Structure 1
Amino acid sequence: MKTYHLALLMPLIMPQIAQADAMSDAQDLIAAHRIIPDFAAQGEPFDAKACMADKKVFSIPVTMTIPFTVALEDAMARAAADVGFEYTVWETQGGMDSYIQGVDQAITQGYDLIDLTGGLNPVVIGPQLMQAKAAGAMITTTHLYDDTQEQADFVDASAKVPFSAVGEILAAWAYVQTTGAPNVLIIGSDDILPSLPYVESIQAKLSEYCPDCEQQYLNVPLAEWGTRIQSGVQSALLANPDINYILPIYDSMSQFVTPALRIAGADVPIASFNGTPFVLDMVREGTVEMDIGESLGWAGYAAVDAQMRQLCGLEVPTDLGIPLVIFDKDNVETTGIPANFDNGYGDAHIEGFRKLWMLD
């Protein structure tokens, strides 16, 4: 009978242990986002109605042509109506002229706070926002910065989003679904402000789980999604037919990935983030494997909470504090048929914020 010294076996055993630990960690991360967490207040209760009685907020969205932004603005308007203060949405279709006109309108009508919503980078209209600040308005952003990013110097507060945490979940999902051997194509847009830390979190987590596994990055500017994602994916698959997972970092990209897969005759699963209804429908239909959703109803209330705290001289939470929920074939029907932005997350946030604002 042969005997082996433990020291000789360790180089063989250690990689297997490390891989088992990585798989366990990834599975735990996924499991934590399959449930809807209870509402957790991001600050101390305050009398919102009394504080906001003489204040008004002017919101400038990146564009009201995007359903995501419309849903977020609708939720913010509902939250403001619950408290009872004036909240105005500037119905922009996008573009510098429209943004500047919005700021001018807010200054002329004496709004107390201007919020840039849904991804509008304040630096784009920095000089105009500085004029607004000189006129006495506060400046906030909603759903723009990643938790790890610093806001522009002239911005007073930001309702941030944990894009980096999303990246870690996507990496964990790809690692688990490929049984620890991911060969991943990540698709991003460097021109969208939070994309850099978001993509870096995916890359870092994949490397942590599997240092020798392959990953590549396809950068497609937002304005070119419709013309370059499909061809870029086709080229990537041609160059590397062993790609076994595709991670478009914003789920609306998925509509341009699926034609590339059909043309290439490739059966490569897709996972993404945002919880956009038409993509959740693609999950239900089996075209997309998984989508990480965020409740825009919850996000809207959390954004208004941040705005009010800024106006009331209270500490502003560091992020929106909204749950990230994994939707796949097992639970996607909870988002509705067809899917919508609010279903699937519960409604604990409504009662939670009302109590936080001392409305009940």
Structure 2
Amino acid sequence: MKFPKLAASLVLVVGVSVSLAACTSATGSSSAASTATAELTSAQTACVAAVKADVEASTAVTALVAPTAPLDLAKLSGKTVWFITVSMNQFSTDMATGVQAAADAAGVKIVTYDGQGAANRFNEGIQQAIAQNAGGIILVGIDPAVVSSALQEATAAGIPIQNTLNSDPSDPVPAGMYDNFTSDFTKDGENAAKWALVDSGCTADIVSLYSSSVGVWQKMYDGAKSVFDEYCPEDCTFTGLNVDVANVSTDIGSQLGTALQKDQNVNYVYPVWDSATPFVAPVLAAANSKAKVLSRDGLQVNLDAIVAGDQAMTTAMPPTAWIGWAAFDDIAREMTGSALLDYVIPTRMIDSTNVGDGSASSTFPEYDGYADAFTTAWKS
């Protein structure tokens, strides 16, 4: 039995508005601002009207997603959960901190395993977890196709494995896994594109950077492109650059530099992940481009850049440690035979209108004290 989806689109429209004044800085402070109606063609006016409500909803305050049902902590006694991640970058480190805090509160041991970006390490991690009688595995950002044999072994051993941040929520759950714990990446790409349409008055000339080797990046790119194809096929331009993730800094420099030389009217650059933005900035500077930068994830450095006026927008997730708490809650419910809550990690588009000081209290105010919401529900 499963409860209804806790949807990423669940938002509280509280005190948030979208500015109507366009920003003129290069990559700087901006809101999804529409050009005055008199300056738009009828097609552009219709385009803005068609997407503006989605932008307003996606920049609004996001409600706290937390469990309300109890968790049988006694059934977790003596259990160990393995946290196996594609690599231990800042995001996975922060998420692991949340998983550890939740496990400590539940009396569960956590083993963290760094996949180091290597398929053989991914498989070894799962096999080690099986050998050590893991109670469950949180598998973060790892393509199930490259660990299919190990997943079969874990299934045979009765170990539940969570497919974490590797799909859209509605995608089929891969064989050998029990659930998709993730965000709606396609929708995030769609909403970022809609933000650019409203901000530009549906005159956006955008270059999107992604890598087809990373499934969720492909989903965001596809989502963004579909919006331009549907709402602004004549007055807008959408260009995709498929970069080599193994040589991301040099490939972004080469491909984006060439794209800006070919089209000097580019007014938005959209790398679909935050950590690409440091490679984008020098290319824009070298080309003397005033394109605004959009991205996705909500890393603190990007939020700070929006505060400083050096970036226009990022699609942010809640505090990363909350993601760890929710991931632990999800797998703990599977381990104890409880009904799953079917989490969808919410996101919020952050720009100059709602960034505040860039802190979690400003960007996700409803998430203050989220840990207490989990522990209170567990003991209810």
TM-score range, shorter chain: 0.7 to 0.9
Cross-structure match for 2:370: 349
Counterparts in 2 of 1:234 and 1:121: CA distance versus 1, 3 Å:
same
Quote the offset at 1:144 in angstroms. 1.4
Quote the offset at 1:98 in angstroms. 2.8
- In 1, the alpha carbon distance for the partners of 2:150 and 2:324 equals 25
Quote the offset at 1:227 in angstroms. 1.1
- In 2, the alpha carbon distance for the partners of 1:97 and 1:353 equals 35
Which of 108, 111, 114 in structure 1 is aligned with 2:131? 108
Structure 1 spans left out of the alignment, 5+ residues = 1-14
Which of 134, 150, 155 in structure 2 is aligned with 1:128? 150
Q: What's the TM-score once normalised by structure 1's chain length?
A: 0.86
Cross-structure match for 1:31: 56
**Contact map agreement 1:302 1:321 (CA 8 A) in 2:** no
Quote the offset at 1:127 in angstroms. 1.4
> Which secondary structure does the structure 2 equivalent of 1:191 belong to?
coil
Cross-structure match for 1:8: none
Q: Percent identity?
A: 26
- Name which of structure 1's ranges 139-148 and 44-53 shifts more when overlaid on structure 2: 44-53
Cross-structure match for 1:169: 191
**Contact map agreement 1:48 1:83 (CA 8 A) in 2:** no
Larger radius of gyration: 1
- In 1, the alpha carbon distance for the partners of 2:164 and 2:158 equals 20
Letter in 2 for 1:30: V
- In 1, the alpha carbon distance for the partners of 2:51 and 2:371 equals 32
1:220-255 superposed Cα distances (whole Å, 9 cap, x missing partner):
132121110011111111111121111111111111
**Contact map agreement 2:160 2:331 (CA 8 A) in 1:** no
Cross-structure match for 2:289: 266
- In 2, the alpha carbon distance for the partners of 1:312 and 1:18 equals 55
Cross-structure match for 1:147: 169
1:94-148 superposed Cα distances (whole Å, 9 cap, x missing partner):
323432332232122111212212x112222221232222222122121111224
Counterparts in 2 of 1:310 and 1:18: CA distance versus 1, 3 Å:
farther
Cross-structure match for 1:185: 207
- In 2, the alpha carbon distance for the partners of 1:351 and 1:315 equals 21
> Which secondary structure does the structure 1 equivalent of 2:292 belong to?
coil
Which of 171, 195, 205 in structure 1 is aligned with 2:217? 195
Matches within 5 A, 1:82-101: 82-101=105-124
**Contact map agreement 1:30 1:169 (CA 8 A) in 2:** yes
**Contact map agreement 1:36 1:323 (CA 8 A) in 2:** no
1:252 maps onto 2:252 in alignment: no
Which of 193, 207, 211 in structure 1 is aligned with 2:229? 207
Identify the structure with bigger relative contact order (alpha carbons < 8 Å, sequence gap 6+): 2
Which of 156, 180, 191 in structure 2 is aligned with 1:158? 180
Letter in 2 for 1:61: T
**Contact map agreement 1:269 1:289 (CA 8 A) in 2:** yes
Quote the offset at 1:37 in angstroms. 2.5
Counterparts in 2 of 1:62 and 1:343: CA distance versus 1, 3 Å:
farther
> Which secondary structure does the structure 1 equivalent of 2:97 belong to?
helix
1:31-86 superposed Cα distances (whole Å, 9 cap, x missing partner):
223332322456x613241332243211111111x101111111111122222222
**Contact map agreement 1:230 1:260 (CA 8 A) in 2:** yes
Cross-structure match for 2:76: 52
**Contact map agreement 2:243 2:251 (CA 8 A) in 1:** yes
**Contact map agreement 2:143 2:166 (CA 8 A) in 1:** yes
Q: CA RMSD in A?
A: 2.3
- In 2, the alpha carbon distance for the partners of 1:200 and 1:97 equals 30
